[in-house]
Structure 1
Amino acid sequence: MTEPADAREVFPPTLREVMLRPQWIGVLLLCLVVAGVFAWLGQWQLGRAIDTDPPPPGATEVVRPLEDVAAPGEYLPEPLVGQRVSTEGFWLPGDFVIVHSRFNDDVEGYWVTGQLRIAGSEQKTSVAVALGWAPTLAAAQAAVDELDREASTPVKTPVEVTGRLISDEGPVPPPRDADPQTLTRMSPAALLGQWSDVEGLSVYRPYIASQEAPSPLEDISSPAPAAGSTVNWLNIFYAAEWAIFAGFAFYLWYRLARDAWEKEVEDLEPEISPESRG
């Protein structure tokens, strides 16, 4: 004898059955693609995290031509920060600028900087140079006056400058109540605003800290850079983040499929017999 329709047992689908439905297989394939992209990004970050070809010890102490190390307008790569370089050029009179709050062996003082116009360059090119250190503002100003007089001579002889190539420190506002032109950071970008003859000028982003200061300035204390680690932990952290995102793509698929299954079971509850629930 056939049972009445309302007496038939209704069995809810299992979570596995829901996950194997075509629409959820399609969502899983989409998540696989997303996770694959995240995994590739993580591998790319790992490749950048470990320097497989670090510069040999003492490489920064070998004097190299400036044009072989950097190009005008380009940022200085991390392995080359502190590289000793040399170049030739002419000082531009009137462009010797004092930078405040510079320390020499823990003693605060001033740097005298200048615009060195590169000699023999096809395009008008300059590099900022920190020539030397002075303990007082008066001594720094006296050095500026003397350098201006020497640079203003009719016959100009190229000067050779050797020193460490250092990244731009970035401009900052002057201290409160100070002259608006006051500089407390060695920034070629900020110095450019005080230089003359800058139309069509190409400028190096890093600056040179000269190893020998003209009298009466003192040599700038610029020791060799410490050997850096070959592992970039920030990139490793990013790689771990991409791995977590890849795992989250699969969790999202599971969570969505489970929510759909729970909703389906909830909708079927009025039709489920007590025996099928147990």
Structure 2
Amino acid sequence: MTSPTALEQEPRQVFPPTLREVMLRPRWLALLAFSLVVAGLLAWLGQWQLGRAIDTAPAEPGQTEIVRPLADVAQPGAYLPEPLVGQRVEASGRWISDDFLVVSSRYNDGVEGYWVTGQLRLDGVATPTSVAVAVGWASDAASARNAVDALQAQVESDPDAIVTVTGRLISDEGPGRPPAGVDPQTMTRMSPAVLLGRWHDVDGVAVYRPYLASQSAIGPLDAIDSPAPDERSSVNWLNIFYAVEWAIFAGFALYLWYRLARDAWEKEVEDLEDEQSEALAAGSAESRD
């Protein structure tokens, strides 16, 4: 029979907390609230991305082939929205003298050649406004230079002549570095931003970011081959992929809270078991003594 003294020396048994009890502590409830805020924000971003992934009012097929006034499609200094890239537009104005420039590496029906470009100062607008125009195509550099001279002569003979250009409105291609071993002033990309740096009479002038590719032959140049853009799908799969990513991140924020709380609970249970084992070992040693 166990003596009263032995019972008094037996260590008190401590029961570890449950995972639920740990999760309901103020510290973990506060962290849960923070995780819910983060998850909610990420879920909202996913919903916003998903809303942009599906075009609920896509343009009707063939809308880009209807010629519209330039001012109805884009505004000076503004980026061209993707659904309007390739839209046929019409613009009237006068050419600015000495601003006919050549851009190389331009293809027409698969044949490499050159574009002659010009600055068209728009007519009938309150603020002086210009748009870069790809005037036409030439098969070789000499023909392109001759076209520049011919166009320049026309402008000098009648600088106030109003011309109307019909073509496709296309986004800026951005600047590009010329190939090694050629004139550093050579342009291989159609960029109104680059052309603006070489134009004349642009103080106080608003400029369109996209450019106009003429679809009619102007002067001695060939018309630029510019087929209709492909019809775009009403679903943007890249945006859907991003929306799924945001949803995964939102779920991970909640899982991280659960994982941290569970790790803390497991460590607490382990520490209590170690303390109880040490206490039992110490009690056994004392009873033997």
Fold shared by both chains (TM-score > 0.5): yes
Match of 1:47 in 2: 51
d(CA) in 2 for partners of 1:117, 1:12: 82
Question: Is the counterpart of residue 219 in structure 1 residue 223 in structure 2?
Answer: yes
* Deviation larger for 155-164 or 137-146: 155-164
Q: 1:267 aligns with which of 265, 271, 275?
A: 271
d(CA) in 2 for partners of 1:224, 1:179: 34
Match of 2:245 in 1: 241
Q: How much does 1:181 deviate?
A: 1.3
Q: How much does 1:154 deviate?
A: 4.3
Q: How much does 1:5 deviate?
A: 6.1
Q: 1:175 aligns with which of 174, 179, 203?
A: 179
Q: 1:132 aligns with which of 131, 136, 142?
A: 136
Q: What amino acid does structure 2 have at the position aligned with 1:219?
A: A
Question: Is the counterpart of residue 229 in structure 1 residue 219 in structure 2?
Answer: no
CA shift in 2, pair 1:50/1:14, >3 Å: same
Match of 1:82 in 2: 86
SS in 1 for 2:157: coil
1:13-66 per-residue CA deviation (whole Å, 9 max, x = no partner) reads 222221122321222122112111111111011001110011101000000000
User: Does the CA-based 8 Å contact 2:95-2:159 persist in structure 1?
Assistant: no
Question: Is the counterpart of residue 255 in structure 1 residue 283 in structure 2?
Answer: no
The equivalences for 1:189-204 within 5 A come to 189-204=193-208
d(CA) in 1 for partners of 2:249, 2:51: 18
1:210-246 per-residue CA deviation (whole Å, 9 max, x = no partner) reads 0101232111100000101111122111111110111
Q: How much does 1:201 deviate?
A: 1.5
d(CA) in 2 for partners of 1:23, 1:178: 68
Q: What amino acid does structure 2 have at the position aligned with 1:86?
A: E
d(CA) in 1 for partners of 2:109, 2:201: 35
User: Does the CA-based 8 Å contact 2:215-2:223 persist in structure 1?
Assistant: yes
Q: What amino acid does structure 2 have at the position aligned with 1:163?
A: G
SS in 2 for 1:7: coil
User: Does the CA-based 8 Å contact 1:46-1:236 persist in structure 2?
Assistant: yes
Larger radius of gyration: 2
d(CA) in 1 for partners of 2:50, 2:89: 32
Question: Is the counterpart of residue 4 in structure 1 residue 8 in structure 2?
Answer: yes
Structure 1 residue ranges without an equivalent (≥5): none
Question: Is the counterpart of residue 72 in structure 1 residue 76 in structure 2?
Answer: yes
User: Does the CA-based 8 Å contact 2:151-2:219 persist in structure 1?
Assistant: no
* Deviation larger for 83-92 or 261-270: 261-270
Q: 2:148 aligns with which of 133, 144, 149?
A: 144
User: Does the CA-based 8 Å contact 2:94-2:161 persist in structure 1?
Assistant: yes
Match of 1:23 in 2: 27
d(CA) in 1 for partners of 2:10, 2:180: 86
Match of 1:35 in 2: 39
The equivalences for 1:107-126 within 5 A come to 107-126=111-130
CA shift in 2, pair 1:171/1:214, >3 Å: same
| Percent identity between the two aligned chains | 67
1:161-201 per-residue CA deviation (whole Å, 9 max, x = no partner) reads 10000000001112112212110001000111111111111
CA shift in 2, pair 1:90/1:8, >3 Å: same
TM-score normalised by the chain length of structure 1: 0.94
